[in-house]
Structure 1
Amino acid sequence: MTTNTDAPSPLQEPAIAEILASDSALDLLLARLKQSVKACDEFANYLKRKQNYEENYARDVKRAVTSCKSSIKSNTSVSKGSFVESLDKIISFDDRILVDVRSPYAKALEKMQDELTSVSATFVRLRKQLKEEGHKREKEVQDAISQAEKSKNRYFSLCTDLERLRQSDQSQKKITLQGRKTGSQQEEELVRKINAADQDYNAKANASQKLKNELVNTHRPRLSKKLQDLILELDTALQLQLQKYAAYNESFVVGLGNQVAPLGANHSSMATVAASVNPEQNLYNYLKGSRVEKKQSFVPVEYKKHPLFKSEPTHQFRVPATPPVSNNVSKLDPPSATTNKTATPPVGSPSFIPVPEPPNSSLANYSTLDPANSSALSASPAPAVLAGPRPISTEMRNNSSSITNTATPAYSGLLFGQPIESLPHDEEMVPLFVKKCINLIETYGSNSEGIYRSSPNKLKLEEIKYAIDQDPSNLSILDPPDPSNVSDDYVYMIASLLKVFFAELPDPLLTKEQSGNFFKAGQIEDAATMHIQLHRIVFELPDANYFTLRDLLFHFIKLSQIPRVRMSVRNLSIVWFNNLLVNEYTSRDELAVQQRVVEELINAAPEIFNPKES
């Protein structure tokens, strides 16, 4: 886009100059700057939401790719040149697109959102400073005019009293606290008061005129110039961000194999639309169409001699003329440019191609815009999460201590105490031992009261634990001796084995890495907000942990819906939280938060996991 630098700015028109010199100038410019800040905030919020959508989409596709490729590899009929082999290669394209196109695009959106948030905070601060100064200057003028009005009213009131006195019977005496006063004495006293009021009125009227002159000739032009510069600077910065966003989208689409171009003569591309913004013309149209009003509170008081004293000399105060302030105000220095970080894609594959930053596009440091030349705005800390742990019951404390004792391994085998991803598993990396235990409990435990809460015969538990630990592939060891006559003690034994398995994992199912995030989420009082955070954290879990957690939570939901079992969601969370989370928290309130995390994970499972996955 070419710009004619010789063309006069529309803001230099006499009509615009008249508007900027009016009593409405400050309010008009402050309102206009507020509109730009609001647009900046809305743009930043949109980019944040879009970035979240991209990240969530990438996670879902990644999991689908992993699950499908795992299923393909487990298919023994794969042969060279087969459909399954081609399918495996085709699915790999989605994986590469996530790495080479979507991930850099999401990072670019995140960077733009951070820049816009920083810019908005800086301009809010600068606008507040100019608003406070402008209102202070205007209030000084308004107060001076108000005082002059009061002095004027007093002066004319005393003159009216003197007129009445001179028209009255001068022979009558007035009774006062000091005694009786004749008409001449009264007149002499009134004249003395009038002279004093005249001097006060004259001084305050001239003071109000002086302050108004300073406002019109000095302060208002200076503040208007600063506000104009801020408006144009912010709008120009937003235009550059809009152009960057258009370029990122073009690069994103090109990376997917498409080309962004006008559809015809009557259509424009995103880049053309983004580049068509003219901040000066927009401000000109805004000011040209605005309504200007003359405020009575800014009309100075004109000194007028009372007709009674027109022939008498008065004390006049001469006010020196205030020279007009030059409009040669230095422009704000544009911020320096920064360089985008770009990802290097593999040769021959489609990729997201970040474009170079336009000149003066870095928006991180706006300290040069500060009238006081203050330092750059620092990032504000994130607000603290509201804490709201619920009371922990005696039942939960008893169960948590018993689980900890049960979870202490007495020997090293091939199943218990091994990393979850290293164990024999299905195509979704769920350990076969876990699937077997869940199936046995749901098949034979529908009439067993207090599953996971009741303890089995310890000797039999240790025997079967040792046997399956030596040969995890022989899951038939877990089958009941007589399927037609299964006792409650057998169900309790399988349930206890499952609990011990998770308790002895070297890294808990909900992982040490995410422990702090789960704990913070458990402190959120609002359940809906907490579910959103849990959803985000669960997505960060490794695949084996993610899919195993899914099967376990839906198993809990199924048990809680069987009346004879008598295990509510809360009961299940009490006996299970110590087996799924790290044991680094020991206080009563901390344990209550961990228990609530597991309880809400069970409640939120249908929201976290896709229906077809369940």
Structure 2
Amino acid sequence: MSETIPHSPSMSNRVPDGTIRSSMERSSDPRNDETPLPAPPASRAPPAVHDSPRTAFDTSELRERVDGVLQSDIGVNTLLNRLKQSIASARDFTYFLKERSSLEEKHAQGLKKLCKGTFELIGKPESRQGSFAQSYEEITRIHDRMSDHGLEFAMALHQMSDDLQEMVSNIERGRKQWKHTGLTSEQRLQDAEAAVGKAKNKYETLAEQYDRARTGDRQSGRFALKAKSAAQQEEDLNRKAQAADTDYASKVQAARASRQELITSLRPQAVRALTELITECDSGLTLQLQKFASLNERLLLGNGLCVSPLKNQPNGIAPHTRSLREVAHNIDNEKDFRDYILSFSKKAGSRTSEIKYEKHPALVSSKQAQPPSQPPQQSFNTPTNAYQNANPVASSSPSGYERGHRPSESGQISGVTPYQPPNREGYPMQVPQNQYPGGHIPLSHSQPPRYLGAQIPNIPPHSPLIIPGTNLGTPDGPKTDAPPNFGDTNRMRSASGSGTGSMIPHMNPYRDDVQSRPSQAPNNHFQQLPRSQPSYDSFGPPAPQQSMPLPNTGQPRQSDGPRPDLPPLNPVFGVTLDELFRRDGTAVPSIVNQCTSAVEFFGLDVEGIYRTSGSNPHIMEMKAMFDNDSSQVDFRNPTVFHQDIASVATLLKHFLRDLPDPLLTSANYNSFRTAARMEDDIGRRDSLHAIINELPDPNYATLRQLTLHLYKVAEHSPQNKMTPSNLAIVFGPTLMGQGGGPGLGDPNDAAWQAKVVETIILNTYQIFDDDD
């Protein structure tokens, strides 16, 4: 059995051609051979692998000890646990490589984008030129080469993570297969030995009774219905003892045959296969670790050579690139400054002539009338006249409306006190219709008009509009088409002079206030002011006639809730599990996870769950939601399924029923039926377990999720009345389907269909253990 000994960690470093390299040849990236990164020098090669552990391991004494453990009753379990550790380590390193690849790619992409933007900024005339621009450009080019190295490193790590992930999947699949094979043979031997023990106890008991009957010793406390003579009792006991002896001998013979087969054939085969899987996993993981170390060294060495290249090349040719320090030291600030100043020497020109004062001959005669020391008066009159007309407050022109002001009766405007409207006799001038586009006076919510001053209260933007003297903005008031009462100035003053400020809040012309009212309201709920008379508010200028657009009350608001007529963008119902797996990337469909989680959160104690039907409108609505985009459905919020957990349970049954191929597959229909007819519980369980292991991956994962969920439901059977038998009756036809096709199912098959599902539920943790 020396071939079953696993390799030590030191043996994985010496990978022979055609063994481990053939299984991991996908991990070698041909781009690594073409990468521009320099290879590590020969002097920095890693030291030789230690030979002392391998020499110690190859000793005959240790080999015999290892074989003794592997060929014992715990050998298969020991190798399964060791392989599980190898798979976990490989999976962890795969995650590390993927995350490191993502970080390196983000860093390299960001650095390349920064270099591209820097190249554009250097060429702009607003930036410094000369030696600084040249050095800055060369430094940026060095960083661009470093980003290329980072991208190559990230791509290599990503490829390594994909290769490791594929290797882990293959090895884990092999582990499940040999776990079932090895543990089944071990369990068969244990059952045979237990049968031998029972037969032996029975045989010894009958032999003792026969010996007492032969010697005349009777047992106290035992009474027979019909008295028998001593000879008859002795004859009966002798016959039973002989039968027990024969049964005991046959059980011993069967146990010996089972043990012999296990020791000579089954156990060594399982040990050899598991050892090879462990060796492959450990060797592949070690190889990827060595490759990762080499790639890190190449990355750092490549970046180092970019920053500081080698000066003395082996061929004697000096490199043309300079180091980062030399590039930075090459900047000459004085030279750049002189070159910049001298570039404008042609534009400087010659120095102008001296400024002289020359008197005009025509002004010589007025020299005595006006001394030259006094400036002319005309120079002071012009700005004075200009400032006299520059005050908009003193102007009575209607142009004052253009600045947002309203003149008072005295022609003055106050910037603090709110404007008091004039009496009925004196109306202010109306704003021209073309003052604002569309005839609307814009009211900014963020910056109030000047005439409101500091008295504007903090009114919500969606408050109803209240205009004194009218019924506009009062939802319950009477509706009238008459113009507002402009003579009621007392109420207008009380509204404007109170401590709370204006009664007119900010008006949003785009807000449809009628949508919040009942749909029975008449269309003339708000009437537009007539064009013949201007409308007034309590503070601002006359409102233009077009400033009150009529809202449209003929159309009701549309519901914001989910609609059952969503388009089936990503159908879920009626699609095979393989197609869902390829499209969504998850072995268990999202609808199964959502429905089982919702039932476990809200329906474990609901009586008759999965037996009571839900609401058909709710089911059709949720079905449309999943067919539209299942990733946007979240049943953790019970309002999504209208707090109807029975509809969620029915939706899950509909999904399983609508599968083109049943969850347990039509191909295995006869196999499941044959296994269900077995009377032995253990044999039926093992047969179903073997068939389930042959299911496709999406079917296996979905069945495991559903079975674990139904086991939790059955645990709450005292509350929900759904025992494993009741659940099997509900889910039997749904999971099994009809083996002969639509319309050809046998009604008598319902009993064994339920038997299949009930056996699976009762043996949930024997068929689906926690590490599957």
Q: Give the TM-score band, short-chain normalised.
A: 0.3 to 0.5
TM-score (norm 1): 0.41
**Structure with bigger RCO (C-alpha 8 Å, 6+ apart):** 1
TM-score (norm 2): 0.33
